[in-house]
Amino acid sequence: MSLHTLHPERVDETRMQAYSTFGPLLVHALTQRLARCQGMRELDKVEKLLVRLIEETDVAAPHGEAMKEFAIELVVSTLRNVREHPDAKHDLEEIDERRTEGRSENPGTLEEQLQSGLEDSFPASDPPAVVSTAITGGSKDIIGTDEVLRRKREARRGSRQTET
């Protein structure tokens, strides 16, 4: 059935059904897109704006206050689902809060400090030394490697020969 074949008395009822069916889907899709593009901070602003809009709207319907509560519930639950979606873009941490007090903002000074730090840490840039993996204190009873098993056999042979 299309809009043209709809009985005139059913138009308003069908419109309300369409709004109640597609409105939440549209709000969810738009807020999900906003979260992916702009991040959570912008989503928080949108949520506050929508809640304030609902609260400040005068509803002449008999159950206007209940309708507003349901609308706010819809906004909050929709945005919670959007925030929990894996594609949502989470905001980066504010770096201003992490800056060391007194740190220079001058790029030239920062470059000098970087070069000085690199020069001071020069030995750390040398290739690593070869390290021996020999275990002090004799061989351990390690089962599984051919070398360990060979050594055990030789030790047993040597102890038998000294016994006889």
User: Residue 124: in which H helix or E strand, if any?
Assistant: none
Question: What pTM did the predictor assign?
Answer: 0.48
Residue 125 banded pLDDT, cuts 50, 70, 90: low
Query: CA–CA separation, 91 vs 41, rounded Å?
Result: 7
The C-alpha R_g of the chain, in whole angstroms, comes to 36
- Average the pLDDT over each of 29-38, 71-80, 86-95, 102-111 and give the range with the smallest value: 86-95
Query: CA–CA separation, 89 vs 84, rounded Å?
Result: 10
Percentage of the chain exceeding pLDDT 90: 12
Residue 55 banded pLDDT, cuts 50, 70, 90: very high
Whether the per-residue pLDDT at 48 is higher than 90: the answer is yes
Helices (H), the chain: 11-38, 40-56, 64-84, 107-120, 146-163
